């Protein structure tokens, strides 16, 4: 028998910067949430009380009590926020499938595209919601997160024909997430920017702002914008306002001192999300017969770096 509290609790999968920041947001607004931690099936009973520390945008410290439980615990899951890396998404959810209610809501907040559709095919009964954010955060140590940039967060349904429960919409509204009728357009817009900034900063081992300051990088940025935009336009997912280069210029200027997530992945010798960013774009380019030679070359350069890392 589950209490109402458990039914309305958000389980969070993925304890990187965004997952930890979202746990802090839920707790700040007294919305019940639990972190899911990886364990062996033998440690399935593990429920741990922890402290989550948030360093806010104003540099003030906040501390919250948080419960973390093993993915192999028994309780049913009604709401889950998935903030893993895109390439971990499917494998991370698999052990949780027996715990998901038929009417569960799965909110996916991560970079890249393709994994959401795969998950929807895998879980046809559950409702898949997509989310996107321009907020920025940095993990300082496990469960210690610094909120480094404010931004806009939105969510919407993968399948436009289904309704989102008003109760979920209300909870997400409390943490400042706006409901979007066309969330796919938001994700495509973010993907397009990520297709340019992320791999170029990773290959050239530089901060986002350098893409605009170095003439050689600026020219590559412009070329890649043209290729990416040719695909999004052919797919009828045009970039709003003045076009992709303008959007990239705005994001790279606002985050000029930051390193992109892909640069960080290469720097810390992790896998990158290239298959779900530029790889996803290339799949559509190939299907539509749109030549994207620079995008193709960039994918193989990133794959090389994944094997060899920075010297």
C-beta closer to ligand KPL: residue 33 or 266: 266
Q: Residue 232 or residue 258: which is nearer to ligand KPL going by CB?
A: 258
CA distance 194 to 281: 11
Orientation angle between helical segments 183-203 and 244-254, nearest 10 degrees: 60
Asked if residue 198 binds ligand KPL (CB under 6 A), the reply is yes
Binding residues for ligand KPL, total number by CB under 6 A: 11
CA angle 128/66/130 to nearest 5° reads 15
Name the residue among 8, 217, 239 with its Cα closest to residue 101.
8
Q: Is 86 in the site for ligand KPL (CB under 6 A)?
A: no
Query: Residue 97: what are its φ and ψ, rounded to 5°?
Result: -55, -45
- Asked if 127 interacts with ligand KPL (CB under 6 A), we say no
Backbone phi, psi, residue 188, to 5°: -65, -40
Query: What DSSP string describes 97-141?
Result: GGGEEEEEEEEEE-SSSSHHHHHHHH-SSSEEEEEEE--EEEEEE
Q: Least Å distance between CB 258 and ligand KPL?
A: 6
Residue 295 engages ligand KPL in binding (rule: CB under 6 A): no
Catalytic residues, which ones?
Answer: 190
Applying CB under 6 A, the span of 35-43, 53-61, 88-96, 253-261 interacting with ligand KPL comes to 253-261
Instruction: Name 81's bridge partners.
Output: 12, 107
State the Cα–Cα distance between residues 278 and 227, nearest whole angstrom: 11
Stretch that binds ligand KPL, among 2-10, 96-104, 191-199, 288-296 (CB under 6 A): 191-199
The mark string for 151-190 relative to ligand KPL (x by CB under 6 A, - otherwise) is ----------------------------------------
- For residue 75, the minimal CB distance to ligand KPL (Å) is 33
CB of 90 to ligand KPL, least distance (A): 20
Q: Rule CB under 6 A: is residue 132 a binding residue for ligand KPL?
A: no
Among 126, 260, 272, 282, the residue binding ligand KPL under the rule CB under 6 A is 260
Least Cβ distance, residue 174 to ligand KPL (angstroms): 24
Q: Does the CA dihedral 56-58-59-61 come out positive or negative?
A: negative
Residue 310's CB: how many other CB atoms inside 10 A? 10
Which residues lie near ligand KPL (CB under 6 A)?
Answer: 111, 193-194, 197-198, 208, 251, 255, 258, 260-261
């Amino acid at each position: 028998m589950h209490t109402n509290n458990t039914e309305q609790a958000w389980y969070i999968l993925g304890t990187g910067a965004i997952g930890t920041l979202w746990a802090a947001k839920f707790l700040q607004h007294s919305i019940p949430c639990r972190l899911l931690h990886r364990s062996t099936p033998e440690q399935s009973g593990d429920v741990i009380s922890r402290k989550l520390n948030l360093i806010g945008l104003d540099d003030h410290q906040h501390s919250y009590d948080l419960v973390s439980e093993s993915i192999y615990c028994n309780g049913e899951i009604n709401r889950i926020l998935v903030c893993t890396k895109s390439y971990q998404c499917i494998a991370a959810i698999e052990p949780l499938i027996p715990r998901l209610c038929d009417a569960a809501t799965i909110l996916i907040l991560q970079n890249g595209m393709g994994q959401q559709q795969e998950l929807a095919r895998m879980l046809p009964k559950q409702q898949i919601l997509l989310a996107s954010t321009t907020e920025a955060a940095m993990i300082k140590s496990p469960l210690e997160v610094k909120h480094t940039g404010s931004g806009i967060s939105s969510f919407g349904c993968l399948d436009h024909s289904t309704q989102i429960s008003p109760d979920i919409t209300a909870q997400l509204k409390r943490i400042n997430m706006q409901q979007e009728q066309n969330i796919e357009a938001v994700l495509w817009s973010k993907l397009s920017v990520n297709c340019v900034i992320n791999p170029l900063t990773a290959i050239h081992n530089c901060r986002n702002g350098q893409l605009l300051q170095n003439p050689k990088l600026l020219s590559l940025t412009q070329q890649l914008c043209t290729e990416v935009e040719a695909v999004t336009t052919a797919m009828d997912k045009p970039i709003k306002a003045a076009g992709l280069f303008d959007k990239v210029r705005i994001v790279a200027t606002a985050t000029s001192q930051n390193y992109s997530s892909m640069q960080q992945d290469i720097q810390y010798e992790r896998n990158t999300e290239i298959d779900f960013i530029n790889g996803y774009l290339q799949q559509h380019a190939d299907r539509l017969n749109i030549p994207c030679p620079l995008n193709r070359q960039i994918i193989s350069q990133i794959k090389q770096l994944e094997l060899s890392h920075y010297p």
